[in-house]
Amino acid sequence: MLNPFKKQTIYIRLFENKVELRYLSKNQTITRIAENKFSNERLLIASFNNAEALIREILTEIQGKRLLTPLLVVLLQPMEKIEGGISEVEKRVFQDLAMQVGGKYYFLHETPELLSDSQVREITRT
């Protein structure tokens, strides 16, 4: 059972119309391809609501329906469409997305290598 007062760390890797979410405390990873696309030719997150809905769906599957939700620490890592760096506008979109899905603390990782659980914990200090 998850303690709603303890910080729970999630690691979200964003691809074009695909989300990979790792819930560290449950040692569980779920990957989903979006039925309602959230990317377009230029932007990784072109439809904010579709991206948010997909991440919320994955979180609900992992956590179940809960009266109290845990304090989420979100490490978000865009994996595609980052050539030339991530703009301030994109950083704001990623931050808003993390907060809208329940993140109380947010971290952005800007390089495309897969991170281990220990690296995620080191970055998020959890």
CATH code of the domain covering residue 59 = 3.30.420.40
Q: Which residues pair with 75 in a beta bridge?
A: 11, 107
Has residue 31 been placed in a domain? yes
Distance CA 39, CA 80 (A): 10
Residue 126 confidence (pLDDT) above 90: no
CB burial string 32-55: b at 16+ within 10 A, e below:
eebeeebbeeeebbbbeebbbbbb
What pLDDT score does 4 carry? Answer: 59
113: its two tokens: 């290598």
Has residue 14 been placed in a domain? yes
Return phi, psi of residue 113, to 5°.
Answer: -80, 145
Q: In terms of residue numbers, what domain contains 70?
A: 7-124
- Mean pLDDT, residues 1-21: 87
In terms of pLDDT, which residue wins out, 120 or 68? 120
Structural Rg of the chain based on CA atoms: 14
Has residue 51 been placed in a domain? yes
Has residue 77 been placed in a domain? yes
Has residue 104 been placed in a domain? yes
Query: How many separate domains does the chain show?
Result: 1
The model's pLDDT over 95-114, given as tens digits with 9 standing for 90+, comes to 999 999 999 999 999 999 99
Has residue 83 been placed in a domain? yes
**Using CB atoms within 10 A of its CB, is residue 126 exposed (0-12), middle (13-18) or buried (19+)?**
middle
What pLDDT score does 66 carry? Answer: 72
Has residue 25 been placed in a domain? yes
Torsion sign (Cα): 12, 79, 16, 44? positive
The model's pLDDT over 23-69, given as tens digits with 9 standing for 90+, comes to 999 999 999 999 999 999 999 999 999 999 999 999 999 988 776 77
H or E element that contains 46: none
What pLDDT score does 6 carry? Answer: 82
Has residue 2 been placed in a domain? no
